[in-house]
Amino acid sequence: MKKALLSFCFLFVFCFSGFGQVDTAAVVQEVDSLIQVSRALTGTGDFSQALEVNAAAEKIAMEGLNSESVAYSSACLNHGRVLHIKGDYPLAKKWYLKAQDIREKVLGKEHPDYAQCLNTLGALNWYMGNYEKAESLYLEAKDIREKALGKEHPDYANSLVNLGVLYWKTGNFEKALPFYLESKAIIEKTLGKEHYDYTHCLNNLANLYWAMGNFEKALPLHLEAKDIREKTLGRGHPAYTETLNNLSGLYADLGDYEKAELLDIETIAVREKTLGKEHPNYANSLNNLAAVYMFMGNYEKAELLLLESKVIHEKALRSNHPDYAKCLDNLAAIYSAVSNYEKAEQFNAEAITIWEKALGKEHPDHATSLNNLGVLYHTMHNYEKAELLLLETKAIREKALGKEHAVYATSLTDLANLYLDMGDFERAEQLYLQSKGIWEKALGREHQEYTESLDHLAMLYWTTGDFNAAKYLLLENRAVEKSLLLKATRHLSEREIYFYISKFAEGTNKIFSSPQKKPEISEACYDNTLFHKGFLLTTASQISNLAQTDSLSTEKYNLLKSYHRRLASEYTLPITERDSTLIAELETKANETEKSLVRTVTGFGEALRQVSWQEVQAALLPGEAAIEFIRFNYYKPQPTDSILYAALLLKPGIESPAFINLFEEKQLEALLAPLAVQGSDGWNELYEGKAGESLYQLLWQPLEAHLKGVKTVYFSPAGLLHRLNLNAILIAKSATLSDRFELAAMGSTRQLVVASGQQTVGTAETAVIFGGIQYEMDSAAILPAEPEGLANRHRGPSFSQTDSALRGGTWKYLKYSDKEADNIQSLLQTAGFQAEVRKGYAATEEAFKLLGKGQPSPRILHVSTHGFFFPDPASPSEGPGGAFRASGHPMIRSGLILAGANHAWQTGQPLGNREDGILTAYEISQMDLRNTELVVLSACETGLGDIRGNEGVYGLQRAFRIAGAKYLIMSLWQVPDFQTQELMTVLYQKWLEEKMTVRQALKAAQEEMRQKRYEPFYWAGFVLVE
């Protein structure tokens, strides 16, 4: 596996001794005072003011004494120090040498003040990567101080610190440790535990223990340093941020990404303010945050940070520095992860050259670069080159770090992976077991590295036919992954969780692919599906509900929604008109606000409790069954190009879930392919022709033996099954599944046990109906059609103005939609509902977005209009639907068409100062529809959207679920409006007059359409999702 490299901060001590007796006391005192002021300004990052004050000190020393006085040399030394901390190393060196020349001439080479010049020059050479020169200067300074001041003087201790840092950096940990321990004891005794220099000792000793893999000793030392610096220096001081920087790296290595990310973000903010965006230390902080995002699988975000860090190092003339090499190594790891092997090899090779030149071939960081290149060659199937590099890496790490170090375990794992692919199973097993033991001891069982070691070992046993051993490892791993993912929900945004989940997809596919379907496997598969399916949707719904339970959370949630509304506006602009800077800024703010909300919302962790298959089974009544359909990449045990479907089935009384293999995805794709060109004939063929028979044989026939005595089936679809109406599948010449079963589609069968996240907040019998909409409109027509006060609210904070980049094409008026709206209003009013109809010019986007604002949303929301969905774009589109077709966001590529939309659809601009009438799923998801029990989307293709793994459909159904709606009826294809109004009228009659459930009413309405000899195309397109 590739390792991300973190940038550590090691602190050198720049101390200024008293001046010699040859200087006039008053001048010396004045110069010293100014130097102290300059040092204080440097600590705040105000370098220009610090240099200005120091220039005054230089002038006073020159005029009051002379250019060869010790006072002047001190001013020169401080001038170099400011430039050093600022990052201007060449100019800093010039001033350091000037101070050294003066002191050598005036005080001689045995004086402590001369030793100080050597010490500062040593630190500068260390920062510039000149380690041999740095060691020589440090040792000379140490000898002078020992002779002149004794071994208990703080300055002598500072020399020990700097030598310790140097030996750490050059990989000689054992030599560094006694220097650190001795210096810490001296500083504690002479200066006390709250002195600035004592925190240096803590920081450096912690970093050494960290490098040696002793995390238990490293963490408390870093925390102690942080507390002292925060208390004595404040949060804005560079030394405090250096402690944060080191702590974040340590937490990242421990797998606590939440703490690591928070610390890195704080460090970056302070360093930007104090050092500026072109300082190497700022670049190192970017590198560290990028490493955290790499661990979490967010490569896109990590790449941007690393490219910025790379440019900063290049500008600072540090292209031969180890920090620059770390940046290149991390970039190479990203490009390898996204299969850009050419770029990865280029950066790896460049990094190796830098490491070798700066630190030598035996250094652990050089070994990391070699290891990453070895893994890359393995991926590229160049096994010979890979083995040579990985063996060299292992030898270096064993010598430098020892056999108990976590990094050494990485070498073992990567070498074992290679041997597994080469067929050398014996050596692979030995190395996997050894690395697993190291990971467990060093990092514990709830760490991603440990879970990967379990998966590797499981694949080895699977390959060699030891399925029993593989089974237990896979089961253990899925349990750990669930724990890690639940922890992630406490600090990650939805987008970040999406990336993080993807890191576990391989393990999930493996357990689904397991050749042994023993009870333990099928049970784990069902539990795993309950946990993962719709995980992000559940998370988003819980945030929506729980965030409104206290004022602080509500404030943050409203702020988050405001960012999303502004983003919705930008996303729907033509690509050439979008403000990319604003979008990036809004996305960042929304992301951080969401993460802050997740951390503070009350009860969030408890709301995401795990549900077991036993609980689902217990919720089933006699004659009921629950089915989780799953879609997975097939492993045997290496990945294949096959995507399989299976069913996990539960009934009361069975001992464990049944795992039933179904079909390969390409078989279903072949049945669905003709639909794109055959239209209504294609759908009729699928549901009542020979294709229908094939669909039954693929999907349902394998389940029949398990469904004897079952009348009701609760099921959760997966993959392309979201495109089907299972009720309409033909099982005999004139019978469908709905004739034999009552089928209930769900996001997850976990909903049988717990609420799906939606809550109703009122019980008023209210309904709002949108229908008979005029898509052509002018501003004169819309104003009188709107309710009082609405026309004056177009620019208010509740709305987001959207736009489109469409040329040509119009949405046609649906004449039977008008009748549908009137029929449904009449039925609802008869049943006691307050039913409001928004027709014609009044059915605006503004009116729709008022629902749930200031009062509970209606219990029933019926929308009879056009819907749209565009698949994931391969390239930018300029035709009809341009801005929506080309959007990278799936919730922008799906939506509803409301009043006046044709103007924006044709011209690319909204009508006047208004919304554009194109209501996207993204915008709907920001609404509050928690009081809405039923949403009926009597519109074309409202059930479509991007299908993404376990998350299901990203489109209108997801949007309404996040907004809080409980039941949703929608269409899978374009149904003519005459037949639609007929079906909808019957549905409401069955529900309201005959008191059927919504599920029963839809089934009865579709059955009535069948009895009237309507073909499936006219009725089978509507489905209910609960």
Residue 214 has pLDDT above 90, yes or no: no
* Token couple for 35: 């130097």
DSSP states of 758-814 as a string? --------EEEEEEEE--S--HHHHHHHSPTTTGGGTTSTT---------S--PPP-
Residue 801 has pLDDT above 70, yes or no: no
Question: What digits encode the pLDDT tens for the residues 664-693?
Answer: 999 999 988 887 677 788 888 888 888 888
Choose among 428, 441, 362: nearest CA to 398.
Answer: 362
Is 3.40.50.1460 the CATH classification of the domain at 766-1025? yes
Question: What digits encode the pLDDT tens for the residues 554-575?
Answer: 777 677 767 766 776 666 565 5
Residue 537 has pLDDT above 80, yes or no: no
Residue 585 has pLDDT above 70, yes or no: yes
Mean pLDDT of 576-605: 67
Residue 1026 has pLDDT above 70, yes or no: yes
DSSP states of 659-692 as a string? EEEEEEHHHHHHHHTTHHHHTHHHHHHHHHSHHH
SS3 content of the chain, % helix, strand, coil (to 5): 60, 10, 30
Question: What digits encode the pLDDT tens for the residues 367-378?
Answer: 888 998 999 999
The dihedral through the CA atoms of 334, 340, 341, 345 has a sign that is negative
Specify whether the CB–CB gap between 496 and 592 falls below 8 A: no
The dihedral through the CA atoms of 193, 195, 199, 202 has a sign that is negative
CA atoms of 1018 and 981, how far apart (whole Å): 11
Strand partners, 626: 650, 714
* φ, ψ dihedrals at 876, nearest 5°: -55, 145
Quickly count: other Cβ atoms within 10 Å of residue 343's Cβ. 14
Q: What is the pTM of this model?
A: 0.62
CA atoms of 164 and 160, how far apart (whole Å): 6
**CB-based contacts of 689, cutoff 8 Å, min separation 6:** none
Between residues 87 and 221, which one has the greater pLDDT? 221
Residue 780 has pLDDT above 80, yes or no: no
Question: What digits encode the pLDDT tens for the residues 925-977?
Answer: 888 898 999 999 986 666 565 566 555 666 788 888 888 898 999 888 888 88
Specify whether the CB–CB gap between 805 and 574 falls below 8 A: yes
When pLDDT is cut at 50, 70 and 90, the band that residue 803 belongs to is very low
Residue 15, pLDDT score: 44
Specify whether the CB–CB gap between 115 and 77 falls below 8 A: no
Mean pLDDT of 252-279: 84
What burial class does residue 381 get, using C-beta atoms within 10 Å of its C-beta: 0-12 exposed, 13-18 middle, 19+ buried? exposed
Q: Where are the beta strands (DSSP E) in 127-237?
A: none
**Mean pLDDT across the chain, nearest whole number?**
82
Quickly count: other Cβ atoms within 10 Å of residue 815's Cβ. 11
CA atoms of 844 and 781, how far apart (whole Å): 12
Residue 473, pLDDT score: 84
At position 286, the amino acid (one-letter code) is L
Choose among 293, 290, 244, 218: nearest CA to 488.
Answer: 293
CA atoms of 309 and 311, how far apart (whole Å): 6
Domain ranges of the chain: 550-600, 766-1025
Q: How far is the first Cα of the chain from the last one, in angstroms, to the nearest whole number?
A: 42
Choose among 310, 301, 307, 308: nearest CA to 257.
Answer: 301
Question: What digits encode the pLDDT tens for the residues 1-11?
Answer: 444 555 544 44
Specify whether the CB–CB gap between 35 and 78 falls below 8 A: yes
Cα within 13 Å of Cα(62), Cβ side: 8
Question: What digits encode the pLDDT tens for the residues 410-454?
Answer: 899 999 999 999 999 999 999 999 999 988 887 777 777 788 888
Which of 737-741, 758-762, 853-857 bottoms out in mean pLDDT, i.e. has the lowest?
758-762
Residue 314 has pLDDT above 80, yes or no: yes
